[in-house]
């Protein structure tokens, strides 16, 4: 029992009081001393057993004040909440329980309330704070109930510490702000797949407004060819299993596809049961574009637009594997500019670059879609000609030689520049162990063309 309970019992024993509620008095609390008159002094400290039990059973701190603002009763919850004993609170002004900024103003608020007393429910939208004995303050909700007694008006107040709830509300608000401002799409859905939440980033990423998306099946975002994989992931989530983040493709409202990095995790209720899925989708469009550009840079010569030596060999190896697997023909043509160093020395490297660009442009103009032009280094180029035997490749090479010899690069003030090329041709033979042998034979034919006086085509002797 609280100190207050001990005090009340002792006081009752001393005063011999009996408390009762008068049915006709509209719920007024009155006291009598035996068969005599009520004691005003006893009214502050005495209470019947049932009333004290009622106060002690209340879940909130209960503090009762008189019309002068003095505390006349306080339960054990009030003792625990404020850190005062009941004896310390009795006869103290209620302002002892208020923090300094509002303590000086409270007497005026109290006077206005007592002038027009009325019930004020808990959580009336007021930002209130209490002050403990140690000086710490806490957010509180307070309900007020005026009660008319034989000794005058008293006000019963129920005080609830809402610190934990405020922290939870702040955490929820903080989390909501993060979700709302996140650059990643954050989506939740239940175990049936129905979308339950949809943040602004999801609107931007997939094109659906929150109003359009919430309630729809999550499969509206999933291409049909990926539904089985996503269904398997949902089953993992349903069983509380971890799903590692993965790269996938989802579908926008307009039907276009978007590469995303997807992180999924189970949503659980208060009993830790899995009730849905939380998905965080990161748009990979920029990263994919950067990867594409890096691949393009790694595969494409910046000056001429031809593929690089490494990528040319990779493509040639793929074509060789295809021919070995399915049969057919393929040829490689190598060429370089005759006396290219002299052109650079006489006209400068800028003109030399224009020569290489002109050569690449003419080659691309003569090639088919499946043919590949590669720059092997310096002024040396190669052509990969799929489904082309040696005789057909030799004709392509001769057309190319003729076209190059007809080029005239005019300068603003310098004389026009002409150039020619020496060309070697080699077709794949059963004796070629790999693409290196085929390239070597084409190079040998190229060197033969140079020895023959340049500006000519030579075919490897293995060509039929």
Give the tens place of pLDDT for each residue, 321-351: 999 999 999 999 999 999 999 999 988 899 9
Question: Do 59 and 158 belong together in one domain?
Answer: yes
Q: Supply the CATH number for residue 41's domain.
A: 3.30.450.20
DSSP strands (E only) in 95-183 = 128-131, 137-149, 152-161
Confidence label for 3 from pLDDT (cuts 50, 70 and 90): very low
List CB contacts of 351: < 8 A, sequence separation 6 or more. Answer: 343, 344, 409, 411, 414, 417
Q: Which of 90, 109, 80, 66 is nearest to 4 (CA)?
A: 90
Examine residue 229 and state whether it is found in any structural domain, yes or no. Answer: yes
Examine residue 172 and state whether it is found in any structural domain, yes or no. Answer: no
- Domain total for the chain? 3
Examine residue 174 and state whether it is found in any structural domain, yes or no. Answer: no
So what's the pLDDT on residue 146? 92
Question: Do 115 and 201 belong together in one domain?
Answer: no
* pLDDT single digits (tens) 217-276: 999 999 999 888 888 888 888 888 888 899 999 999 999 999 999 999 888 888 888 999
- In angstroms, the CA 85 to CA 191 distance is 53
Question: Do 123 and 152 belong together in one domain?
Answer: yes
3-state secondary structure of 333: strand
DSSP secondary structure of 336-352: EETTHHHHHHHH-HHHH
So what's the pLDDT on residue 79? 94
Examine residue 351 and state whether it is found in any structural domain, yes or no. Answer: yes
Question: Do 395 and 421 belong together in one domain?
Answer: yes
Confidence label for 45 from pLDDT (cuts 50, 70 and 90): very low
- In angstroms, the CA 131 to CA 246 distance is 52
**The tokens of 190 are what?**
């239940």
Question: Do 312 and 431 belong together in one domain?
Answer: yes
Number of H helices, E strands in the chain: 16, 17
Tell me: pLDDT of 161 over 60. yes
- In angstroms, the CA 129 to CA 109 distance is 15
Q: Supply the CATH number for residue 351's domain.
A: 3.30.70.270
Q: Which of 130, 21, 114 is nearest to 80 (CA)?
A: 130
Confidence label for 31 from pLDDT (cuts 50, 70 and 90): very low
Question: Do 432 and 362 belong together in one domain?
Answer: yes
Domain that holds residue 250: 182-288
Q: Rounded mean pLDDT of 69-85?
A: 93
pTM over 0.75: no
So what's the pLDDT on residue 7? 34
Examine residue 173 and state whether it is found in any structural domain, yes or no. Answer: no
**The tokens of 202 are what?**
């999801």
Examine residue 409 and state whether it is found in any structural domain, yes or no. Answer: yes
């Amino acid at each position: 029992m609280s100190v207050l309970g001990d005090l009340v019992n002792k006081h009752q024993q001393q005063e011999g009081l009996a408390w009762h509620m008068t049915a006709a008095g509209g719920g007024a609390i009155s006291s009598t001393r035996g068969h005599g008159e009520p004691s005003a002094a006893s009214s502050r400290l005495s209470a019947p057993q049932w009333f004290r039990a009622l106060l002690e059973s209340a879940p909130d701190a209960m503090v009762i004040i008189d019309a002068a603002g003095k505390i006349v009763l306080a339960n054990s919850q009030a003792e625990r909440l404020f850190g005062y004993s009941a004896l310390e609170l009795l006869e103290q002004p209620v302002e002892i329980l208020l923090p300094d900024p509002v303590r000086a103003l409270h007497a005026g608020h109290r006077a206005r309330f007592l002038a027009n007393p009325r019930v004020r429910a808990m959580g009336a939208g007021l930002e209130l704070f209490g002050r403990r004995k140690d000086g710490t303050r806490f957010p509180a909700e307070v309900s007020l109930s005026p009660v008319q007694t034989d000794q005058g008006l008293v006000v019963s107040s129920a005080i609830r510490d809402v610190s934990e709830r405020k922290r939870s509300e702040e955490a929820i608000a903080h989390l909501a702000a993060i979700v709302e401002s996140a650059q990643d799409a954050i989506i939740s859905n239940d175990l049936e797949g129905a979308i339950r939440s949809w943040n602004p980033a999801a609107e931007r990423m997939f094109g659906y407004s929150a109003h359009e998306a919430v309630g729809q099946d999550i499969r509206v975002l999933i291409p049909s060819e990926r539904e089985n994989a996503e269904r398997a992931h949902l089953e993992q989530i349903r069983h509380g299993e971890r799903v590692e983040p993965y790269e996938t493709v989802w579908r926008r409202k307009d039907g276009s596809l978007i590469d995303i990095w997807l992180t999924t995790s189970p949503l659980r209720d208060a009993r830790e049961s899995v009730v849905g899925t939380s998905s965080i989708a990161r748009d990979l469009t920029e990263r994919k574009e950067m990867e594409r550009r890096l691949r393009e840079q790694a595969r494409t010569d910046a000056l001429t637009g031809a593929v690089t030596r490494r990528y040319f060999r990779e493509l040639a190896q793929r074509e060789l594997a295809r021919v070995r697997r399915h049969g057919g023909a393929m040829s490689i043509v190598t060429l370089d500019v005759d006396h290219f160093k002299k052109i650079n020395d006489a006209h400068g490297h800028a003109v030399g670059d224009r020569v290489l660009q002109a050569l690449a442009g003419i080659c691309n103009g003569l090639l088919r879609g499946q043919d590949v032009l590669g720059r092997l280094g310096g002024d040396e180029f190669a052509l990969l000609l799929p489904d082309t035997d040696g005789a057909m490749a030799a004709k392509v090479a001769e057309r190319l030689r003729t076209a190059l010899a007809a080029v005239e690069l005019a300068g603003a003030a310098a004389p026009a520049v002409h150039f020619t090329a020496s060309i070697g041709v080699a077709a794949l033979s059963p004796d070629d162990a790999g693409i290196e042998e085929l390239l070597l034979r084409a190079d040998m034919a190229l060197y033969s063309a140079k020895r023959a006086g340049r500006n000519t085509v030579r075919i490897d002797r293995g060509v039929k």
